Amino acid sequence: MAPLTLDPPGEGTFTVERDRAAVAPVLRHVLKAKLTTYLEQGDFTSYRILLNQQSARLRGLPTEPNDDLVPGFQAVPGAPKHQRAVAQFLHENGFCHPLERDAAGWSVLCYASMRGDPFLVQALLRCKADPNDKVTKAQPQLGIDKGTPVLGLCTKFKNHEAMKLLIAAGSRISVRGVLQTALSCACYVDDAEAVHCLCASGGDPNEKNPFGVSALRQACVTGSLHAMAALLEHTQNLDLSLSLHWVAMGQRSSAKALDLLIRARADVNEQYRPRRMSALGLFWRLKGLQYRAGWRSTQLRGVGYHHYGATPLMIAIICGNFEAAAALMVRGARLDLRNSRRRTAADLAREMSSPDYLIAALGGHMAWCNSLVAHALM
């Protein structure tokens, strides 16, 4: 199946609206076929992940998730509604107990948070599920790291009502030491509503993960314009440092993101000087050593070799983000600054075989860049 970062088709724009109804049964059938295959193969982890992603994948389409794949469920006569909901969910997912955790490191509440049914989440909380539960193993196919809290799972799948229930039950918004906080997850999927809710509930917009990545920097690298705007609305003291560098390392909505941040007074000529022994500083040093040792050239290794003292313009050139490079020059990025290896932006552009229009702009001929940026901002 497609990765989480792909938007569900139902949230797209249909030129012919009746096509939405035509897509719905096709996608539902594809999901059912894949789920059946996982069951036949005994791949219960993949089955549970896809089973509980269905609501997100079918969002915006006139259809319901497949929930009849495991026969034999019989509700206990007279059982309260919340107990029946939990029992059916356990049956569908192959669990025996509401506090169980599978071999993939996911608890019952983790899967329920991904599904996003608020009644089910509330029912599990009544069964003593921990609102601060988290995944204990990474799930790379979903972009979910080890330690991601259930609140982050709700947020990543845009399950707003379930998210509010967890917060009301005591789920912590700011969690030290995890790579993906709930706010970072909201920015990853560009969910402004979740950002507003989390900030209003006490979330810290400036909190950073162990690698020094804040929610804003996450939004920058994924081009999450709505989330960026929501963060800017919630505090006058939002840390904008290095935000332009992170936009430059991404590839989405770069000109609009840069325009938003520069209008908020981000420094277009800021030079990147991470602490050498910080987690991110060590990461870049490792990538730089790989670059020097002649390992296969990648953007990360290029950044690692040239990062210290680099401006956002230099990072954009190294990463091949030419829209960002053009936008930065249009907004007055200095061309005389040098990184720690004594390279200017023009030096790097020549080394990286940048397009002719960018080389020309670095020489003072801005016509093509002006046109490109004007079109990108439309």
Average pLDDT over residues 90-106: 97
pLDDT computed for residue 347 by the predictor = 98
- How does pLDDT run across 256-266, given as a tens digit for each residue? 999 999 999 99
Whether the per-residue pLDDT at 373 is higher than 60: the answer is yes
Looking at residue 6, its pLDDT comes to 54
- Domains of the chain (ranges plus CATH)? 308-376 (1.25.40.20)
Mean pLDDT of 19-29: 94
Quote the percentage of the chain above a pLDDT of 90: 88
Read off the pTM. Answer: 0.92
In the predicted model, what is the mean pLDDT of residues 37-60?
A: 96
Confidence of residue 345 (pLDDT cuts 50, 70, 90): very high
Exposed, middle or buried, 18 (CB in 10 Å: 0-12/13-18/19+)?
A: exposed
- pLDDT > 80? residue 4: no
pLDDT band for position 248 (50/70/90)? very high
Mean pLDDT of 184-206: 96
Q: Calculate the alpha carbon distances from 166 to 43, 116, 219 in Å.
A: 29, 11, 23
Checking if the pLDDT of 61 tops 60, the result is yes
Res 89: pLDDT? 98
Q: Does the structure show a pLDDT above 50 at 1?
A: no
**How many angstroms separate the CA atoms of 118 and 116, rounded?**
6
pLDDT, residue 236, reads: 86
